[in-house]
């Protein structure tokens, strides 16, 4: 049997390891468009910030693939999959036969529909190549506009701040980090960003990007401190004044590129490949995991897109086991996010926005000075999720709730000192495991 | 392999383990430098020592985006390599036991490494609440304490 894995990141690595745990004999090949070995996309903002060296982005070395007994074909994108002949074609024209196929090819950044957005001076931050292109542009005194206020975008904006750039963040929705934080936490983060000198503009629409005076600019990054005409102008569709910038970074979400599956019977939706709890696609022998897959969630949704590292690791493990013939069902993904931005720890997990259901109860603890904010959402005593802003200490509360959110088990709270009592309850339960 | 077991019924909240750990880890006697933490709730009369149990399938290790968490081939301890750790805090959000802390000065995550096989916390525990035992023994111990808990819940003598 020959198992082929398309991709070389969280889902693929975890799938390869799981496959080998259950099957030591079969042939295993990893194929990826990017040149190997694997690096961690999660760490790219840390590299931009200068908090880790470039070589530490790499999370596997050549010996890892040898140790797994895996063939690697890195640097070759898959251009076509044939699900009748059970083969795939690589960009160099070569063909590869497979018996089990895992599509863990990840996602690509989405560019919002803004006229003249693609072009000189506009960056995304998703691949190592993106980061290598962006890093030398982050020079003190330059003006950077970040379009979108997602996790990656805001971490990059913080990196730009620390490097002495003048930073503007534009968000189409009324608040920053809308998918990760609730309203109050967004407001606190926004306040902190302003304290760091960031020009935060929420609820703005961007009409087009202008490149005044036909800027050439390509391959000629400005010297530090050099005064020059701005390369770009972000023209807004609302009342706000337009913003001049030396560079624009787009962080408006990601979506998988699955064009290589055209012509196959693999069902593909706009957000990815729907899979069941064994990461199987609509074609027997073909699996999908990670950002390319739409898998089940702990909240009972059949097909959810997360584009999160932990979800990719879990789905990869399930896919790899099932590819090796070991029956393993996925209990569903639970979204979790954590990062530091503008000196604040920012994290959330599961569901943390009130839906209006009277059975829901939100428990909030907030430091009046605004340095710390915690919120847990319960329904009928069962935790659904929560938000942490400020202190890494509080991450332990979310972490302790995670198994209870998964198991839909009660996490009791006494009134008065909710978090203290929660800590105690969890601690006692823990000691009695 | 061996792990450190924690018995809340024997713990007297003297915090010697915290001091011993902090001194081993950072040559200080500050609580924040300790990888073991005693939570003391005087009103409920409960004190609970808490440190890493070096899970069989550690989720922190699996989920670390920096591949900074490994299992020591010598002691079996789940260890964080501070050179590789980027300080992303994913492990803090992953560990359901709250056994990982963030070192705000070094900007990395820290956890118990069993002191290379000679855990100082156990050495300096005055009440015997901490024991360094083979995992099989430890699970037997937990089983017994869980059963005791059930018996208490359902009334002594009754079958749970």
Domain around A155: 122-250
- Domain assignment present for residue A332? The answer is no
* A51 close to B (CB below 8 A): yes
User: Contacts by A351-355 with C-beta closer than 8 Å and gap 24+?
Assistant: A351/A299, A351/A377, A351/A384, A351/A385, A352/A182, A352/A376, A352/A377, A352/A384, A352/A385, A352/A386, A352/A387, A353/A182, A353/A377
Indicate whether A280 and A351 sit together in one domain.
no
- Domain assignment present for residue A12? The answer is yes
- Domain assignment present for residue A112? The answer is no
Q: What is the total count of domains within chain A?
A: 3
Indicate whether A26 and A141 sit together in one domain.
no
Q: Say what the pLDDT of residue A118 is.
A: 93
Residue B155 has pLDDT above 60, yes or no: no
- Domain assignment present for residue B115? The answer is yes
Q: What is the total count of domains within chain B?
A: 1
Indicate whether A169 and A278 sit together in one domain.
no
A18-40: pLDDT as tens digits = 999 999 999 999 999 999 899 99
pLDDT mean over B84-105: 94
**Half-sphere CA count of A133, side-chain side, radius 13 A:** 16
The fraction of chain A above a pLDDT of 70, given in percent, is 90
Residue A429 has pLDDT above 80, yes or no: no
- Domain assignment present for residue B159? The answer is no
For chain B positions 62-121, those within 8 Å of chain A (CB to CB) are: 62-63, 65-67, 83-84, 86-90, 92-98, 101-102, 104, 107
pLDDT mean over A384-398: 92
pLDDT mean over A184-202: 96
B9-49: pLDDT as tens digits = 899 999 999 999 999 999 999 999 999 999 888 877 888 88
Indicate whether A141 and A246 sit together in one domain.
yes
pTM equals: 0.90
What one-character-per-residue DSSP string does A152-173 give? Answer: HHHHHHHHHHHTT-EEEEEESS
CATH classification at residue B73: 3.30.70.20
Indicate whether A172 and A246 sit together in one domain.
yes
| Residue A165 or B141, more confident | A165
B127-144: pLDDT as tens digits = 999 999 988 777 666 666
Taking each helix axis from N to C end, the angle separating A10-22 and A309-323, rounded to the nearest 10 degrees, works out to 30
A243-266: pLDDT as tens digits = 999 999 999 999 999 999 999 999
CATH classification at residue A69: 3.50.50.60
Indicate whether A244 and A153 sit together in one domain.
yes
Dihedral of alpha carbons A307, A313, A318, A321, sign: positive
Chain B residues within 8 A of A431 when measuring between CB atoms: 6, 8, 48, 145
- Domain assignment present for residue B134? The answer is no
* A412 close to B (CB below 8 A): no
Indicate whether A394 and A317 sit together in one domain.
no
- Domain assignment present for residue A113? The answer is no
Indicate whether A294 and A400 sit together in one domain.
no
* A263 close to B (CB below 8 A): no
Q: Say what the pLDDT of residue B45 is.
A: 80
Domain boundary among A225, A250, A275: A250
Residue A216 has pLDDT above 50, yes or no: no
* DSSP-assigned beta bridge partners for residue B77: none
Whole-complex ipTM = 0.89
CATH classification at residue A357: 3.30.390.30
Looking at chain B, which residue has its C-alpha nearest residue A395? B93
Domain around B88: 13-127
For chain A positions 6-25, those within 8 Å of chain B (CB to CB) are: 10, 14
């Amino acid at each position: 049997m020959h198992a082929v894995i398309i991709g070389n990141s969280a889902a693929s690595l975890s799938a390869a390891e799981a496959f080998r745990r259950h099957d030591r004999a079969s042939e295993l090949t990893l194929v990826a468009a990017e040149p190997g070995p694997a690096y961690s996309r999660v760490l790219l903002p840390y590299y931009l910030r200068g908090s880790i060296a470039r070589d530490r982005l790499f999370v596997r070395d050549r010996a890892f693939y040898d140790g797994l007994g895996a063939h690697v074909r890195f640097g070759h994108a898959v251009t076509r999959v044939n699900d009748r002949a059970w083969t795939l074609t690589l960009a160099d024209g070569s063909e590869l036969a497979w018996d089990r196929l895992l599509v863990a090819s990840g996602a690509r950044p989405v560019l919002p529909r803004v006229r003249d957005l693609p072009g000189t001076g506009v960056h995304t931050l998703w691949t190592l190549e993106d980061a290598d292109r962006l890093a030398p542009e982050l020079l003190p005194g330059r003006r950077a506009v970040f379009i979108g206020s997602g996790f990656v975008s805001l971490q990059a904006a913080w990196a730009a701040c620390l490097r002495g750039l003048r930073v503007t963040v534009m968000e189409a929705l009324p608040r920053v980090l809308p998918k990760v934080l609730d309203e109050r936490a967004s407001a606190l983060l926004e306040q902190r960003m302003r304290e760091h000198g960031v020009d935060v503009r929420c609820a703005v629409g961007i009409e087009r990007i202008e490149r005044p005076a036909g800027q050439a600019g390509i391959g000629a990054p400005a010297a530090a401190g050099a005064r020059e005409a701005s390369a770009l102008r972000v023209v807004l569709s609302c009342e706000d004044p337009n913003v001049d910038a030396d560079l624009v970074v787009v962080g408006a979400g990601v979506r998988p590129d699955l064009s290589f599956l055209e012509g196959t019977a693999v069902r593909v939706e706009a957000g990815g490949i729907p899979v069941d709890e064994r990461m199987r696609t609509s074609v027997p022998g073909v699996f999908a995991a990670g950002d390319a897959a739409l898998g089940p969630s702990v909240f009972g949704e059949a097909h959810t897109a997360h584009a999160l590292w932990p979800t990719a690791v879990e789905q990869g493990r399930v896919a790899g086991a099932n590819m090796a013939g070991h029956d393993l069902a996925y209990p569903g993904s639970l979204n979790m996010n954590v990062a530091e931005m503008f000196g604040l720890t920012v994290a959330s997990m599961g569901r943390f926005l009130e839906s209006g259901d009277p059975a829901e109860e939100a428990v909030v603890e907030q430091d009046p000075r605004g340095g710390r904010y915690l919120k847990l959402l319960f329904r009928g005593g069962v935790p659904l999720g929560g938000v942490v802003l400020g202190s890494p200490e509080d991450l332990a509360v979310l972490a302790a709730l995670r198994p209870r959110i998964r198991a839909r088990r009660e996490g009791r709270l006494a009134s008065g000192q909710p978090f203290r009592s929660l800590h105690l309850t969890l601690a006692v339960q823990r000691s009695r495991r | 392999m061996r792990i450190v077991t924690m018995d809340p019924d024997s713990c007297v909240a003297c915090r010697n383990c915290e001091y011993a750990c902090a001194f081993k880890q950072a040559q200080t006697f500050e609580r924040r430098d300790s990888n073991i933490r005693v939570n003391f709730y005087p009103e409920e009369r409960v004190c609970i020592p808490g440190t890493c149990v070096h899970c069989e399938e550690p989720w922190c290790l699996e989920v670390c985006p920096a591949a900074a968490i490994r299992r020591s081939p010598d002691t079996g301890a789940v260890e964080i390599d501070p050179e590789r750790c980027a300080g992303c805090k994913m492990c803090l959000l992953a560990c359901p036991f709250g056994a990982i802390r963030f070192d705000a000065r070094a900007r990395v995550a820290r956890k118990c490494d069993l002191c290379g096989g000679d855990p100082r916390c156990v050495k300096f525990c005055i009440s015997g609440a901490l024991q360094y035992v083979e995992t099989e023994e430890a699970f037997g111990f937990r089983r017994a304490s869980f059963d005791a808990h059930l018996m208490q819940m359902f009334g002594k003598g009754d079958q749970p």
